[in-house]
Amino acid sequence: MDLCQLLRDIGGGYRMTEPEAAALLDIRGRDVFPILAAADDMREKKAGNIITYVRNQNIHITNICKNLCGFCGFGKSPGDDGAYCNDREEIEKKVALAAERNVTEICMLSGVHPDFTIESYEDILAWVTRAAPGVHIHAFSPDEVAHASERGGISTIEVLERMRNAGLGSLQGTAAEILVDEVRSVICPNKVKTGMWVQIIREAHRMKIPTTATIMYGSYETAMDRARHLSILREIQDETGGFTELVPLTYIHTGTPLYRQGIAKAGATGMEDILLVAVSRLFLDNFKNIQVSWGKLGLKMSELALASGANDFAGTMFADDVSRDAGAESAEYLDPVIMERIAKDLGRPLRQRTTLYHLLQGTCTE
Ligand code: SF4
């Protein structure tokens, strides 16, 4: 492969193939740098110079989960030490605190509670909507949609409709991990299979419910698997245009069964992290936004990712128990003042956005 020629072609509009993406993801040494530079050029072309962030708060409702994925340190069985499930009062208290903090988005991240039904999800959405009217609710994964569908004997489309009617603003593109069933059978055997994840995301997009797209990398998969995953996302986006952004999620290994059992390695290396962002930017020619997950990457790697293809700093967050329980060191609140310092260091302006990437007034640091 002639790397310089390939990067020139991509810059000129050539659509990279899956094997080419896998080859780029496997590159090490100084050849990595031209890839990062090409991705940064592409970011400028596709998303401009502004670095965006959303003022949001994560709310965890329960860590009780039917799936118990091997890469996760958060999910627990009912009755385990530290297992919890918030009731209405506790949820409303958390939401009231988020509203006081002037967030524009509430992001609900939880385990897939075995007893939850569509009615449970509707109740939660109604409580949150009442406690924080006008705040965008970004919640639930295709796995939770499939679970509610199975439990209630209703279609996944009906689940999505009922969630939307109860206040859902956008669906999370989580539970994707790596969209290759051979990998899923090792890292998350109890989650929806690739076909079902794709089906639910397509259904959501067709119903005009936007979703994020995620990739959880660095555990067990190969570069080919990562490229396959990106290819599936690109195909869906060609068809629906419903993804708001790609959120690369690096595997945090420390507190997870997969690592303790010697099945997964100790997460991605720095080169892998940065290449994943850069190659995603070059490969996903139909995505405008690529996010850095600062709670997992840390601030210094996040800055490098923003210089290698990413354009979004994610959210203020206020809590990320999922990353913390897996062993991440920095996963709480990120003050926009710190984001601004990093944006200035990169010579780019920082702007607050909504969940759906509308820029808000009066938050420009230009
Ligand atoms: S990753 Fe999600 S679905 Fe899997 S065990 Fe953790 S909380 Fe449950």
pLDDT digits (tens, 9 = 90+) for 96-107: 999 999 999 999
- In which band, very low, low, confident or very high, does the pLDDT at 364 lie, cut at 50, 70 and 90? very low
Residue 253 phi, psi dihedral angles, 5° rounding = -90, -30
Helix axes 3-11, 32-47, angle to 10 degrees: 0
User: Can you name the residues that pair with 315 across neighbouring β-strands?
Assistant: 54
Residue with tokens 């490229």: 227
pLDDT tens, position by position, 161-170: 999 999 999 9
- In which band, very low, low, confident or very high, does the pLDDT at 366 lie, cut at 50, 70 and 90? very low
Whether the predicted pLDDT of 331 surpasses 90 = no
Q: Name the closest-CA residue to atom 3, ligand 1.
A: 67
pLDDT tens, position by position, 211-264: 999 999 999 999 999 999 999 999 999 999 999 999 999 999 999 999 999 999
For a substitution probing ligand 1, which of 85, 177, 178, 188 has the most ligand atoms within 8 Å of its CB? Answer: 188
- In which band, very low, low, confident or very high, does the pLDDT at 325 lie, cut at 50, 70 and 90? confident
- The share of the chain scoring above pLDDT 70, in percent, equals 98
Q: Name the closest-CA residue to atom 5, ligand 1.
A: 68
CA of 80 to the centre of ligand 1 (A): 15
| Mean pLDDT value of segment 337-350 | 98
3-state secondary structure of 138: strand
- In which band, very low, low, confident or very high, does the pLDDT at 363 lie, cut at 50, 70 and 90? low
**Which carries the bigger pLDDT value, residue 340 or residue 326?**
340
- For the stretch 272-275, contacts whose Cβ atoms lie closer than 8 Å and that sit 24 or more positions apart, written own/partner, are 272/25, 272/217, 272/218, 273/218, 273/248, 273/297, 273/301, 273/305, 274/32, 274/36, 274/301, 274/304, 274/305, 274/308, 275/24, 275/25, 275/27, 275/32, 275/35, 275/36
pLDDT tens, position by position, 298-323: 999 999 999 999 999 999 988 767 77
Whether the predicted pLDDT of 327 surpasses 80 = no
Dihedral angle, C-alpha 35, 40, 42, 44, nearest 10 °: -170
pLDDT tens, position by position, 258-283: 999 999 999 999 999 999 999 999 99
CA of 36 to the centre of ligand 1 (A): 32
For a substitution probing ligand 1, which of 60, 74, 108 has the most ligand atoms within 8 Å of its CB? Answer: 74
- Give the mean pLDDT of the chain: 95
What topology is assigned to 18-353 in CATH? Answer: TIM Barrel (3.20.20)
| Mean pLDDT value of segment 130-142 | 97
Ligand 1 pocket residues where CB is under 6 Å: 65, 67-69, 72, 74-75, 111-112, 188
CA of 321 to the centre of ligand 1 (A): 12
Whether the predicted pLDDT of 365 surpasses 60 = no
Q: Name the closest-CA residue to atom 1, ligand 1.
A: 72
290 touches 248 (CB < 8 A)? yes
CA of 322 to the centre of ligand 1 (A): 9
CA of 39 to the centre of ligand 1 (A): 32
For a substitution probing ligand 1, which of 62, 67, 323 has the most ligand atoms within 8 Å of its CB? Answer: 67
Q: Name the closest-CA residue to atom 7, ligand 1.
A: 111
Q: Name the closest-CA residue to atom 4, ligand 1.
A: 69
